[in-house]
A = this chain, B = another copy of it.
Amino acid sequence: MPRAATSSDVFNAVAEPQRRAILDFLATDERPVGDLVKALGLSQPSVSKHLRVLRQLDLVRARRDGRRVLYRTNAGAIRPLHEWAGTFERFWSQQLRRIKERAESTHRESRR
């Protein structure tokens, strides 16, 4: 079995750095494809292909405006990722607490 398709879920879709760059770029405003081509320095076909993957997962939404197509990020579709990663939050903060405690006790040691 090969790797899951990039368009199979959000995790696979955002594994590609250029697609994350696209989501970042389209987060605040809607933009035509041409703007992305300029901003990312990729070829126009490459950008269109990335947008297709993102559109299939509803990570971006498109709207036609004359001869251009305006895209924008649909932030809500990124939530599942944030939530999954968030389930580990209590573990890493626990770890940070332990490190801090150890640092403090070392500090006390050195003052003796």
Min CB distance A74 to B, Å, is 8
B4, B23, B76, B82: the one contacting A15 at CB < 8 Å is: B4
Q: How far is the CA of A86 from the CA of B12 in the complex (A)?
A: 18
The number of chain A residues with a CB under 8 A from chain B is 31
Q: Mark A65-98, 1 if CB is under 8 A from B, else 0.
A: 0000000010110110110111111011001100
Q: Mark A20-51, 1 if CB is under 8 A from B, else 0.
A: 10011001100000000000000000000000
- Interface on A for B, CB 8 Å cutoff? 3-4, 6, 11-12, 14-17, 20, 23-24, 27-28, 73, 75-76, 78-79, 81-82, 84-89, 91-92, 95-96
User: A14 contacts which chain B residues (CB < 8 A)?
Assistant: 11
15 A-B Cβ contacts within 8 A? A4-B16, A11-B17, A11-B20, A12-B15, A23-B88, A24-B87, A27-B87, A27-B91, A75-B88, A75-B91, A75-B92, A78-B85, A81-B85, A82-B88, A85-B85
User: A23 contacts which chain B residues (CB < 8 A)?
Assistant: 88
